[in-house]
Amino acid sequence: KAVKEGVLEKRSDGLLQLWKKKRCILTEEGLLLIPPKQQPPPQQPPLPAEPAAKIKELHFSNMKTVDCVERKGKYVYFTVVMAEGKEIDFRCAQEQGWNAAITLQMVQYKNRQAILAVRS
C-alpha cells in the first residue's frame, strides 16, 4: 500500500555523482526506487514494462537513519543511512517533505517490530 508517491532525485555512485530522477513509492515497509519510464520516439513500438530487477527497495529493516543534511535554494538534501553503513543521498523540493515522510514511516515500522518482539 503506497503512503506517498512521487519523484525524488538520487545521487549516483559514479565518479560524476549526477542527480538522477527516480519514481518513488513509500510504503509501510520501505521505499521503492523505480527508474523513470523512458518515452520511445513516436515511430517506434512502446518499450516493454520495466523489468522487476530495475526496481530497488530500501527496506526499513535495513535502514538506520534519515539525516537531513541541508536546505539549499529550493531543495532539501538528505541521506538515508543503511544498516551496513551505505549512505544514499537524495534531494527533493522543500515543499514535498520526502525526508519527513520517510522518517515517519521508518519510525512506525520500527515501533511495530518492537511491539511484535515484545509479544513473542
> Using one digit for the tens of pLDDT, what is the confidence trace for 58-102?
999 999 999 988 999 999 999 999 999 999 999 999 999 999 999
Sorted by sequence, the CB contacts under 8 Å of residue 47 that are 6+ apart come out as 38, 40
pLDDT at 35 over 90: no
38 or 104, which is more confident:
104
Alpha carbons within 13 angstroms on the beta-carbon side of residue 6 total 14
The model carries a pTM of: 0.83
Q: Which three cell numbers stand for residue 119?
A: 509479544
> What confidence tier does 42 reach under pLDDT thresholds 50, 70, 90?
low
CATH architecture of 2-38+52-119: Roll (2.30)
